[in-house]
Amino acid sequence: MTSTGERANAAESGRPERGAPGPATARPGASRTAPLLSLLRLARPLRSRLLIAAAAGAMATGCGVGLLATSGFLLARASQHPDIAALSVAVVAVRGLSIGRAGFRYAERLAAHDVAFRVLAQVRVAIWRRLDTLAPAGLPAFRSGDLLTRLVSDVDATQDLFIRGITPPLAAALAGSAAVAACLALLSPAGLVLAAGLLAGAVLVPVLALSAVRAPARRAAPARGQFSAALNDALAGAADLHAFGAQDVALGRAEAANRELAGLAARSAAASGLGTGLASLTAGLTLWGVLLLGVAAAGSGSLSRVPLAVLTLTALASFEAVTALPAAAVQLSHSRRSAGRIAEVMDARGPVTDPPEPRQLPAGEFTVSLRGAQVRYRPGGPLAVDGVSLDLPPGRRIALVGPNGAGKSTVAAILLRFRDLAGGSATLGGHELASYRADDVRSVIGGCPQDPHVFDATIAENLRLARPAASCAELTDVLARVGLRDWIGSLPDGLDTQVGPSGAAVSGGQRQRIALARALLADPAVLILDEPTAHLDPDGRRSLATDLLTVTAGRAVLLITHDLDGLDQVDEIVVMDRGRVVERGTHEKLAAGDGQYQRMWRSTLPMPA
């Protein structure tokens, strides 16, 4: 069951993106096949391996065709009762071809998988480089776990593209051409018929089959969505349904959607069968055409019994080359969508650029300042942050509060060099942030971004991300500072405890505290904490909010929070709304005033009795 809190949070993270640029806009006129080509371009260094795989596939098919054709030769020639020496080559060839067919198929499969994995490594590195410059502000996917998961599975799916979508057509083209060439040499009209038949089987039939299934599949999508929604509602609300004895009502709704889905599936069966039927028909008619021409030529004496048998059996066997192609067409159609999403990422504009000659970081202490900072998510779009000024000298703690979508996290993104300014200035030690390398800036301005990620590794490994050389004593010490001493002591594996995928093996509060410990361990001069108490229950929120104010005493901190508890301890509270600073001052001053902070503060308090 999704909690309302999570929904609210998702809504917030979605909000600033509403007018945000789809990165796809970078190349509006790109043709529909272009993404696949750009993916293939990434595989260019592996071209020769790809060709080897295709050649092995072609050889396998070729051996199969040759096996039947040579057998035909053997029988036709034998029926003329020649000397056995006339057959000896054919006998050896038949045996060799039969072994070659299996051997080359094995080689093809291995080579195709090998090249696919090599391409995967290239694609992964290429996309990682791109994501490194984009994350998190340059890509909407970083706002949605689902989009990110899909992007990663798109990248993974490139291996299927190469195994099923690229190698088989290449192999089919090579083997098919060889078969056609052989037939052309024996009887050219028959060779032309075979060429036409193979082309139809390789291109026309898969394309027709694909377009025939597309329409019913489109109709089924909303029905499937309806069924999913109805089932999801029933399962997510299972407790309420059980408590009120209403299971059958909810199941009835899902059942209605299920029946519709089944009806559509039955109707789409006809379209699906079309491809298989057409493939069989194409192969059969081609064989028949070749046979007819061959028989006519034999009747007129221009073709003797041996070439007739070889010709017909070659035509019969050569359709093995195209059997894998309908599946390849489906794969290419899938991959085109994946490749399109990958291309969007590759083409997306980076949110920040490093200067050509970056400045050295100041040696001693420094102040980080914003003056009238403005941010737009896209050129010409509305200002998401408008005229924000603040100063973070050493030791000063500022809390940034305000409603969802007020622009608080965007201020953090400016300081972490995740976003460039549209106006105003952001300085570090008196010089523009943009004059430093972004990585350098983040070595002194750090902390916890919103929803910090806990990696599927041990607690120690997660912490050492911040400081690889940290000793166990240092790790234990920093965990103690964030209130995890007892917990870590209670774990049988201690620091070596695995936190599971996305930290699933630890509680939400522990996850946030580990992230806080990691930020403290990195020990940046300026610490930015973006909603460190999000996703916690009221108990956990309050205790973490208190703890983090204690451990951050004496350092420069920008704390973005919804929890007003304990904010009397920070030096300044900045209240934002719709991208602007609406109020600022100490807790004492703001709580006594009559502004937005006072209203927020009041609403957290019990009502007067």
Partner 1 sequence: MAASGQARGYLIVTALLGLVVTGLILAQAGLLAHVLASAASGRGAAALHGSLVALLAVVVGRAAAVQAGEVAALRGAAAVKERLRSRLARHALHLGPAWLGRQRPGELTALAAGGLDSLDPYFARYLPQLILAVAVPAAVLATVTSADWISGLIIAVTLPLIPLFAALAGLQTKAQTRRSWQLLARLSGHFLDVVQGLPTLKVFGRAAAQERLIAEVTDEYRASVMATLRIAFLSALVLELSASLATALVAVEVGLRLLYGHLDYPTALLVLLVTPEAYLPLRNASAQFHASADGITAAGRVFEILDTDVPRGLAVPGRPAAPDLRSQTIIFNGVSVAYPGRPRPVIDHLDLTISPGERITLTGPNGAGKSTILAVLLRFVAPAGGSIKVGTADLTAMAADLWRGQVGWLPQRPALFPWSAAENIALGEPGAPRAAVERAATLAGAAEFISELPDGYDTVLDERALRLSAGQRQKIALARLFLRQTPLLLLDEPTAHLDPASAAEVDAALGSLTGERTVILVTHRDGPVLGPGRTLVVRDGAVTEAGHGALSGARTDQPTASAVAARPGTAPSAAAAPAI
State the nearest-atom distance from the C-beta of 175 to partner 1, in Å: 15
Which lies closer to partner 1 via its Cβ, residue 381 or residue 566?
566
**Within 10 A of 26 (CB to CB), how many other CB atoms are there?**
14
> What is the rounded CA–CA span in Å between residue 579 and residue 406?
5
CB 159 within 8 A of CB 124: no
Per CB under 8 A, the list member of 21, 168, 446, 483 interacting with partner 1 is: 446
Which amino acid type is present at position 19?
Answer: G
CB 53 within 8 A of CB 111: yes
Which lies closer to partner 1 via its Cβ, residue 34 or residue 470?
470
CB 338 within 8 A of CB 157: yes
Applying the rule CB under 8 A, the residues between 392 and 411 that interact with partner 1 are: none
Per CB under 8 A, the list member of 64, 165, 191, 201 interacting with partner 1 is: 64
State the DSSP code for 123.
H
Residues 6+ apart with CB under 8 A from 313: 68, 69, 71, 72
Applying the rule CB under 8 A, the residues between 343 and 382 that interact with partner 1 are: none
Per CB under 8 A, the list member of 75, 196, 199, 495 interacting with partner 1 is: 75
Applying the rule CB under 8 A, the residues between 249 and 268 that interact with partner 1 are: 249-251, 253-255, 258-259, 261-262, 265-266, 268
Helices 167-186, 85-134: axis angle to 10 degrees equals 150
Torsion angle of the four alpha carbons 177, 181, 187, 190, in this order, in degrees rounded to the nearest 10: 10
Applying the rule CB under 8 A, the residues between 106 and 135 that interact with partner 1 are: 106, 109-110, 113-114, 117-118, 120-121, 124-125, 128-129, 131-132, 135
Q: What is the size of the binding site for partner 1 (CB under 8 A)?
A: 162
Which lies closer to partner 1 via its Cβ, residue 70 or residue 561?
70
Q: Does the protein bind partner 1 through residue 31 (CB under 8 A)?
A: no
SS3 of 528-597: EEECCCCCCCHHHHHHHHHHHHHHCCCCEEEEECCCCCCHHHCCEEEEEECCEEEEEECHHHHHHCCCHH
Q: Does the protein bind partner 1 through residue 452 (CB under 8 A)?
A: yes
> Using CB under 8 A, which of the segments 25-33, 79-87, 366-374, 391-399 binds partner 1?
79-87
Per CB under 8 A, the list member of 375, 545, 551, 575 interacting with partner 1 is: 545
Applying the rule CB under 8 A, the residues between 314 and 343 that interact with partner 1 are: 316
The C-alpha angle with vertex 115 and arms to 324 and 107, in degrees rounded to 5, equals 60
Which lies closer to partner 1 via its Cβ, residue 85 or residue 380?
85
State the nearest-atom distance from the C-beta of 441 to partner 1, in Å: 10
Q: Does the protein bind partner 1 through residue 72 (CB under 8 A)?
A: yes
State the nearest-atom distance from the C-beta of 372 to partner 1, in Å: 26
State the nearest-atom distance from the C-beta of 140 to partner 1, in Å: 13
Stretch (H or E) spanning 186: helix 167-186
Q: Does the protein bind partner 1 through residue 566 (CB under 8 A)?
A: yes
> Using CB under 8 A, which of the segments 73-81, 400-408, 420-428, 483-491 binds partner 1?
73-81
**Within 10 A of 290 (CB to CB), how many other CB atoms are there?**
26
Question: In angstroms, what CA-CA distances link 468 with 30, 485, 518, 519, 521?
Answer: 44, 21, 11, 13, 10
Per CB under 8 A, the list member of 54, 591, 596, 597 interacting with partner 1 is: 591
Per CB under 8 A, the list member of 284, 355, 382, 489 interacting with partner 1 is: 284
Q: Does the protein bind partner 1 through residue 589 (CB under 8 A)?
A: no
Per CB under 8 A, the list member of 181, 185, 204, 281 interacting with partner 1 is: 281
> What is the rounded CA–CA span in Å between residue 580 and residue 578?
6
Q: Does the protein bind partner 1 through residue 491 (CB under 8 A)?
A: no
Which lies closer to partner 1 via its Cβ, residue 385 or residue 522?
522
State the nearest-atom distance from the C-beta of 64 to partner 1, in Å: 7
Q: Does the protein bind partner 1 through residue 442 (CB under 8 A)?
A: yes
State the DSSP code for 22.
P
Which lies closer to partner 1 via its Cβ, residue 255 or residue 477?
255
Stretch (H or E) spanning 392: strand 383-392
Q: Give the residue carrying structure tokens 């996703």.
A: 535
